[in-house]
């Protein structure tokens, strides 16, 4: 399945679980660029430079077929066409996620370790982030 089709499918699932969601349109070449263009400040409690987060997302778009599906005040939801499939690769991605959003590890599901978080990334086609 293509990255764009997966994103469309995940958007339908997301909307079904969040019926009060609203559609937003932004003129941008990608979801990563749309965050900066829209002035999204989701990770403001962690870092105020949205361009840094867009740069990481742009890389994830290329490497994993990630697509921005939804954003909120302090949340970001991505579909992922090519998630890590091995424990070793998942641990490397988990380290990137930790640098991007430490709350996912520190305040996510126990146990609060990078290895446990990595296990939850293997073969998973959506990544969700939230900043406290």
Q: How many domains does the chain have?
A: 1
Residue 25 falls inside a structural domain: no
What pLDDT, on a 0 to 100 scale, did the predictor assign at position 108? 84
The mean pLDDT values, 10 residues at a time, for the chain of 132 residues are 94 91 91 94 88 96 97 95 97 97 91 94 96 88
Q: Is residue 24 part of a domain?
A: no
Share of the chain above pLDDT 70, in %: 100
Q: Is 75 contained in some domain? A: yes
11: tokens are 């958007």
Structural domain contains residue 13:
yes
Query: Is 94 part of any domain?
Result: yes
The verdict on residue 97 lying in a domain is yes
Q: What is the pLDDT of residues 50-83, one digit of tens each?
A: 999 999 999 999 999 999 999 999 999 999 999 9
Answer yes or no: is 59 within a domain: yes
User: What are the φ and ψ backbone dihedral angles of 100, each rounded to 5 degrees?
Assistant: -75, -40
- CA angle, 52 as apex, 46 and 54 as ends, to 5°? 110
* pTM of the entire predicted model: 0.92
The boundaries of the domain holding residue 119 are 3-19+31-130
Which parts of 1-132 are beta strand (E)? 66-71, 75-80, 126-130
């Amino acid at each position: 399945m293509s990255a764009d089709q997966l994103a469309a499918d995940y958007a339908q699932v997301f909307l079904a679980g969040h019926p009060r969601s609203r559609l937003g349109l932004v003129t941008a070449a990608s979801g990563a660029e749309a965050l900066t263009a829209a002035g999204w400040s989701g990770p403001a409690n962690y870092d105020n430079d949205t361009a840094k987060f867009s740069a990481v997302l742009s890389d994830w778009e290329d490497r994993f077929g990630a697509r921005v599906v939804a954003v909120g005040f302090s949340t970001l939801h991505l579909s992922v066409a090519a998630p890590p499939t091995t424990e070793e690769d998942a641990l490397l991605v988990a380290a990137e996620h930790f640098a991007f959003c430490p709350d996912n590890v520190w305040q996510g599901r126990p146990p609060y370790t990078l290895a446990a978080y990595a296990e939850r990334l293997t073969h998973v086609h959506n990544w969700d982030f939230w900043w406290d």
